[in-house]
Amino acid sequence: MAVIVPFESQPAGSIDQLVELVAADMERVNATILSRTGSDVTMIPEVANHLISSGGKRLRPMLTLAMANLAGYAGEGHVKLAASVEFMHTATLLHDDVVDESELRRGRLSARMVWGNEASVLVGDFLLGQAFRMMVEVGSLRALDILSSAAATIAEGEVMQLAAAKNTATTEDEYLAVIRGKTAELFAAACEVGPVLGGRPKAEQTAAASFGMNLGIAFQLVDDVLDYGGKSAKLGKNVGDDFREGKITLPVVLAFRRGNDVEREFWVRALEQGKIGDNDLNHAIGLMTKHRALEDTLNRAHHYGAMAVDALALFPPSPMKGALEQVVAFCLARSH
């Protein structure tokens, strides 16, 4: 089954330029990640590295490195903050898999399937603790404030999603509040600490945060579309996971609001009551196509992507700035 999504004419975008520009720093981040997952309790590096070494793009720590570079930061702290950001992300994934009862993550068995829910919860807690230790070592109270606030907001967004789960009456605004918290906030924090470390003016800190926030929203919306089609193999999850888990995402919100009573009954039965038959995923995709729900979710994603690019405007042209613009295009282009 294929979903036709538009924007084939957009530039594909690439993260290659970013990867290249931060390569030297990223090697040190990876070494830090490896050493900070170390523990005499062997289960900790096993669980942590199962996920950390599973081929994620490490986009978030790269953003921290890139923003520190863009801010002209010449110190060492960005390496530890980038590693902290990746640990916070990994901890969130470990806990998410327990919350969602996920069996797969990035195409491999999730940690909880191999070591159990207990280990996933506790190793997540360990990584969060280690993340904070590294931040403290860097010694910037403002960076600590940004990242610890993000930690609380991420959890808040996840609880919000839990409360909204299976509620087909969720509005677009409510959904946006959820993904700002659970996804975009960490992108924003990862970016904001760059100019903070560099001692740059408040306007640049805000611009970096805004870039990250809008990129994060765009990233999540494209993810939502991919769950109803697209390159599932690359994602390491199956098309239809969100549907089977009763997750309310923007394509559902739009299709539900634009649908008639019979269609709404279908969404309620499938997502709220969890009564899903063999052909229901196809039917759901059909309804989304009919109401242009996937296409418009991508339109929304492009809106946030444009805001991300504009947020960078006050930085002078540079290869790094160009690389960050390319990242936006890349995140949007994942959908085709």
Which parts of this chain interact with its own copies (CB under 8 A)? 39, 41-44, 91-92, 95, 98-99, 117-119, 121-123, 125-126, 128-130, 132-133, 135-137, 139, 141, 144-145, 148-156, 158-160, 162-163
CA pair distance 321, 327, nearest whole angstrom: 10
- Residue closer to its own copies, measured from CB, 43 or 329: 43
CA nearest to 66, candidates 323, 331, 296: 323
- Residue closer to its own copies, measured from CB, 20 or 76: 76
Cβ at position 167, least distance to its own copies in Å: 13
- Residue closer to its own copies, measured from CB, 83 or 285: 83
Cβ at position 189, least distance to its own copies in Å: 11
- Residue closer to its own copies, measured from CB, 23 or 114: 114
CA pair distance 49, 302, nearest whole angstrom: 34
SS3 of residue 166 by DSSP: coil
8 Å CB contact between 158 and 181:
yes
CA nearest to 179, candidates 207, 160, 193: 160
**Sign, Cα dihedral of 36, 42, 43, 47:** positive
The rounded Cα 129 to chain-centroid distance in angstroms is 21
Please, which residues have CB within 8 angstroms of residue 10's CB and are 6 or more apart in sequence?
329, 332, 333
Please, which residues have CB within 8 angstroms of residue 124's CB and are 6 or more apart in sequence?
90, 91, 92, 94, 95
Cβ at position 298, least distance to its own copies in Å: 28
Cβ at position 34, least distance to its own copies in Å: 16
- Residue closer to its own copies, measured from CB, 114 or 163: 163
Question: Following DSSP, what letter does each residue of 86-135 receive, concatenated?
Answer: HHHHHHHHHHHHHHHT-SEETTEE-HHHHHHHHHHHHHHHHHHHHHHHHH
- Residue closer to its own copies, measured from CB, 137 or 172: 137
